Amino acid sequence: MTDWLYGEDGYYATYKNIGKSGDFYTAVSTSKFFGGTVAKHIISLVDEGFLQQNATICEIGAHHGYFLADVIEFIYTLRPELLSTLDFVVIERFDDLQEHQTNYFKESFGDVVSLTHYKSLSELKCENAFFIANEIFDAFPCELYFKGKTARMNEHEAEFDVDNDWVSEKAKKYHKDRGEIAIGYEEFAREMTDSCDKFEFMTFDYGEMQARPDFSIRVYAKHEVIPFFDENIKRKELFGKSDITYDVTFAHVKDAYEEAGVEFVELKAQMVALVDMGILDLLEILKEADRPLCYEEIKNDISMDKATFYRNISKFEDEGILNAFESNDKKRYFEVKLTPHAHFVCVKCNGVECIKNIDITLPTYEINNVIINGTCPSCLVTV
Ligand SMILES: C[S@@+](CC[C@H](N)C(=O)[O-])C[C@H]1O[C@@H](n2cnc3c(N)ncnc32)[C@H](O)[C@@H]1O
């Protein structure tokens, strides 16, 4: 798995299109609210005094850089003064990805935000930090274990004939007679504690406190999931070209951190965590701007390129959070979906307004938009 993912030609060694058109997509590539909610949580930690104004905000294994960029964008919206005091860091071992992330940050924030890269946590030294990681623990290499024996890969076939006491001990501890045993969690936890005096670490992954005693290892290729032990799998062809992952045993992550002296706070479902951190409040904030806006009107406030803007906004549309329509000026306008209402578009100034005093319910129909064209009061005055 180490060679498959991190070898010279390994899957993560070069920039991959993780996202809808890639092999798989993570929560980070699908919704901006994920980063937004974490931003809100970071601000609460500053307000409570756990994080200093000059704390380090560090993402580990950032890939595109979308997650940290989303966090930064929402910090800018909610508490702009923190942007100049917080220190933003990404831990990324591959030069190619570091370069990609640097470019993405430049494109999104220009010189307003500076990003520091380190290849490993062991290079970072700071006093106070918030660490975030999305789907990294399922990308740590693992050993495969089956009834007392550890596997050795031979010509892409697993031969279970190795005696490995460390793996057997972990298997026993996590009640597995077969399955994956992750390698590297202990060292990673120690590196994090050595890098910082006081920190909070939030991480999201697929898995369970006690993952099932079975093999969950699988390959993702073009959104198809192929179990690693599927009889028709073509491992040689997929090697290094597709993502490989497995369910995380969170008890193993927790034990690794507790052994390193870190207090475990809680494990909860991602949606529950997002609600607890205030995703609903965030929607409330966005709701306040309930006049439909187009990209050109907000681009100066969001310092985001057009492609990124549309990537995020179309997801909100898909999720039914935003309503969008094309106006006379051929621009697309967006607003938070509240009660159905019509829009007035002025044919002279192209201004768009919400018209809420017209009943537009049509029993048995689903209405997307009602657009009224005409001349607005200000243009009528100046005619
Ligand atoms: C499934 S991808 C997730 C990428 C990104 N976080 C996202 O959500 O789109 C796993 C990432 O974890 C990174 N990773 C795995 N182990 C790591 C470690 N020990 N230190 C830093 N990054 C690591 C990999 O290089 C890869 O970029």
> Is the same domain home to 170 and 80?
yes
Measured over all CA atoms, what is the biggest interatomic distance in the chain, rounded to whole angstroms? Answer: 88
Mean pLDDT of 181-208: 96
Domain interval for residue 32 = 2-267
pLDDT digits (tens, 9 = 90+) for 70-109: 999 889 888 999 999 999 999 999 999 999 999 999 999 9
The one-letter amino acid code at 66 reads Y
- Classify residue 273: in a domain, yes or no: no
Q: Is 140 in the pocket of ligand 1 (CB under 6 A)?
A: yes
> Is the same domain home to 92 and 163?
yes
* Predicted local distance difference test score (pLDDT) of residue 222: 76
- Classify residue 272: in a domain, yes or no: no
* Predicted local distance difference test score (pLDDT) of residue 160: 97
pLDDT digits (tens, 9 = 90+) for 130-162: 999 999 999 999 999 999 999 999 999 999 999
Look at ligand 1, atom 1, and give the residue with the nearest C-alpha. Answer: 135
pLDDT digits (tens, 9 = 90+) for 266-312: 998 877 777 777 655 545 555 665 677 777 776 665 545 676 667 66
Tell how far the Cα of 173 is from the centroid of ligand 1, in angstroms: 26
Closest ligand 1 atom to the C-alpha of 97?
27
> Is the same domain home to 38 and 127?
yes
Least confident of 14-28, 154-168, 364-378: 14-28
* Predicted local distance difference test score (pLDDT) of residue 282: 47
Which residue did the predictor score with more confidence, 115 or 34? 115
Residue after which a domain boundary falls, among 267, 293, 312:
267
Per-residue pLDDT at 171 exceeds 80? yes
> Is the same domain home to 91 and 184?
yes
Least confident of 19-28, 237-246, 321-330: 19-28
* Predicted local distance difference test score (pLDDT) of residue 20: 46
* Predicted local distance difference test score (pLDDT) of residue 327: 84
What sign does the dihedral 170-173-176-177 (CA atoms) show? positive
pLDDT digits (tens, 9 = 90+) for 299-351: 665 545 676 667 666 666 766 667 788 888 888 887 877 677 888 999 999 88
Look at ligand 1, atom 3, and give the residue with the nearest C-alpha. Answer: 135
* Predicted local distance difference test score (pLDDT) of residue 339: 72
> Is the same domain home to 32 and 163?
yes
* Predicted local distance difference test score (pLDDT) of residue 313: 67
* Predicted local distance difference test score (pLDDT) of residue 62: 94
Closest ligand 1 atom to the C-alpha of 184?
19
Q: Is 100 in the pocket of ligand 1 (CB under 6 A)?
A: no
Mean pLDDT of 177-197: 97
Q: Is 26 in the pocket of ligand 1 (CB under 6 A)?
A: yes
Give CB contacts under 8 A, 24+ apart, made by 330-339: 331/294, 331/295, 331/296, 332/294, 332/295, 333/292, 333/293, 333/294, 334/292, 334/293, 334/294, 335/289, 335/290, 335/291, 335/292, 335/293, 336/283, 336/286, 336/287, 336/289, 336/290, 338/287, 338/290
> Is the same domain home to 135 and 178?
yes
**What domain count does the chain have?**
2
- Classify residue 37: in a domain, yes or no: yes
* Predicted local distance difference test score (pLDDT) of residue 205: 92
Tell how far the Cα of 93 is from the centroid of ligand 1, in angstroms: 9
> Is the same domain home to 80 and 188?
yes
Per-residue pLDDT at 202 exceeds 50? yes
> Is the same domain home to 117 and 56?
yes
pLDDT digits (tens, 9 = 90+) for 35-81: 888 998 999 999 999 999 999 999 999 998 999 999 998 898 889 99
* Predicted local distance difference test score (pLDDT) of residue 278: 63
Tell how far the Cα of 172 is from the centroid of ligand 1, in angstroms: 27
- Classify residue 35: in a domain, yes or no: yes
> Is the same domain home to 227 and 302?
no
> Is the same domain home to 166 and 303?
no
Whether 217 contacts 226, CB under 8 Å? no
Burial of residue 225, with CB atoms counted within 10 A of its CB: 0-12 exposed, 13-18 middle, 19 or more buried:
exposed
